């Protein structure tokens, strides 16, 4: 579904507003599209009639556009920094890689780096099949690492694969933390904080526990109904109002919190040169306002106007870590 969101966004005619992942659609074969055919984003990608995608499909594509561009920018910054006298990242670790294509898309930038894709055995097997069939194989500097975030120790798995904890590393953890139990999330963050070089960084997305509670109580709203049907419910949210403290407990400093669909995100990634918003319905079209039922549910949960249900964050391993 995530790859389909990137693929739909990559079809946008304007290159400036397009999702930069032009390889995502290549990885989606008939079997992959069949898995998500009941979801609006899957239906939109498979539709060859030329009809405009639904608002829900466009919202998913826009979410993936923001997420992809934000992480891409941080990755480029981390590795371009390596050309300076201070030294930048020389390893890339993609946690929960799924159908991520950065190892191929940034092949030139990463040619002198080690790249590790970490994921479950079943997902990784399908990914490797699609990469071989659609892209002619993985880049030579890519190593696949199999792990279960709820059971396996990330540090052990990475070291066995050739990861060097003394080299500055850029980590991504995209679309995963909400599916992992709290202990697994904390352990992963602590591993990054204690088993990577100072100055290493992590960009990840997360939801808050308030968002999680809302989805559990009102599964009829939003993506929750699909997640439950697929047997992949969200199970973890960062404590609302204590996000910075949560990451600090793991030993990581928050450099930037970036609310998805916040004003900065909309301005930076979704606003066209003429001031219109990518994916917004035309002025004369019915707008998908909150129903009275949804408004009542939000009020009951105590969710404040303007709250972000979904966020990106850039975290850094401190240059001076406390002993132990």
Q: Is the pLDDT of residue 223 over 80?
A: no
More confidently predicted of 261 and 285: 261
CATH number at 86-281+288-316: 3.40.50.150
pLDDT number for residue 63: 93
Structure confidence by residue, pLDDT tens digits, 82-105: 454 456 899 999 999 999 999 999
The secondary element (H helix, E strand) that includes residue 205 is strand 201-207
Comparing 120-124, 147-151, 175-179, 196-200, which segment has the lowest mean pLDDT? Answer: 147-151
Whole-number pLDDT of residue 323: 46
Looking at residue 84, what is its pLDDT?
42
Return the closest-CA partner of residue 100 out of 110, 86, 87.
110
Q: Provide the residue ranges of all domains of the chain, joining segments of one domain with +.
A: 86-281+288-316
Give the CA distances from residue 31 to residues 98, 104, 173, 262, 295, in Å, rounded to whole numbers and listed in that order: 15, 22, 25, 35, 38
Decide if 251 contacts 194 (C-beta within 8 A).
Answer: yes
Question: Which tens digit of pLDDT belongs to each residue from 5-34?
Answer: 999 999 999 999 999 999 999 999 999 999
User: What is the average pLDDT across 298-324?
Assistant: 72
234 — pLDDT class (breaks 50, 70, 90): confident
Q: What are the tens digits of pLDDT across the range 45-73?
A: 988 888 888 888 998 899 999 999 999 99
Instruction: Look at residue 319 and tell me whether its pLDDT is greater than 90.
Output: no
Give the pLDDT score at 293.
Answer: 66
How confident is the model at residue 54, as a pLDDT? 86
| Per-chain mean pLDDT for the chain | 88
Q: What is the pLDDT of residue 85?
A: 43
Q: Are 198 and 321 in contact (CB under 8 A)?
A: yes
End-to-end CA distance of the chain: 41
| Residue the block writes with tokens 């696949």 | 144
């Amino acid at each position: 579904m995530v790859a389909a969101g990137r693929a739909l966004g990559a079809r946008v005619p304007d290159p400036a507003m397009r999702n930069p992942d032009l390889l995502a659609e290549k990885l989606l074969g008939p079997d992959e599209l069949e898995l998500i055919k009941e979801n609006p984003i899957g239906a939109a990608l498979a539709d060859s009639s030329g009809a405009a995608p639904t608002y829900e499909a466009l919202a998913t594509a826009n979410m993936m556009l923001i997420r992809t561009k934000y992480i891409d920018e941080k990755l480029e910054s981390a590795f371009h920094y390596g050309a300076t006298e201070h030294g930048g990242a020389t390893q890339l670790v993609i946690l929960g890689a799924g159908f991520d294509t950065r190892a191929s898309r940034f092949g030139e930038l990463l040619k002198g780096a080690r790249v590790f894709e970490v994921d479950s055995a079943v997902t990784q097997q399908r990914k490797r099949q699609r990469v071989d069939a659609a892209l002619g194989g993985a880049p030579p500097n890519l190593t696949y690492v199999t792990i279960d975030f709820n059971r396996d120790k990330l540090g052990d798995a990475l070291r066995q694969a050739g990861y060097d904890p003394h080299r500055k590393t850029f980590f991504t953890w995209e679309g995963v933390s909400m599916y992992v139990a709290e202990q697994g999330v904390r352990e992963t963050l602590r591993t990054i904080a204690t088993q990577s070089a100072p100055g290493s960084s992590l960009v990840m997305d997360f939801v808050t526990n308030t968002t999680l509670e809302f989805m559990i109580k009102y599964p009829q709203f939003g993506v929750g109904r699909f997640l439950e049907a697929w047997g992949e419910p969200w199970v973890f949210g960062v404590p609302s109002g204590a996000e910075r403290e949560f990451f600090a407990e793991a030993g990581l400093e928050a450099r930037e919190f970036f609310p998805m669909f916040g004003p900065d995100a909309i301005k930076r990634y979704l606003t066209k040169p003429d001031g219109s918003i990518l994916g917004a319905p035309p002025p004369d079209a019915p707008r998908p306002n909150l129903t009275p039922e949804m408004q009542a549910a939000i009020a009951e949960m105590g969710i404040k106007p303007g709250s972000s249900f979904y966020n990106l964050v850039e975290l850094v391993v401190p240059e001076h870590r406390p002993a132990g």
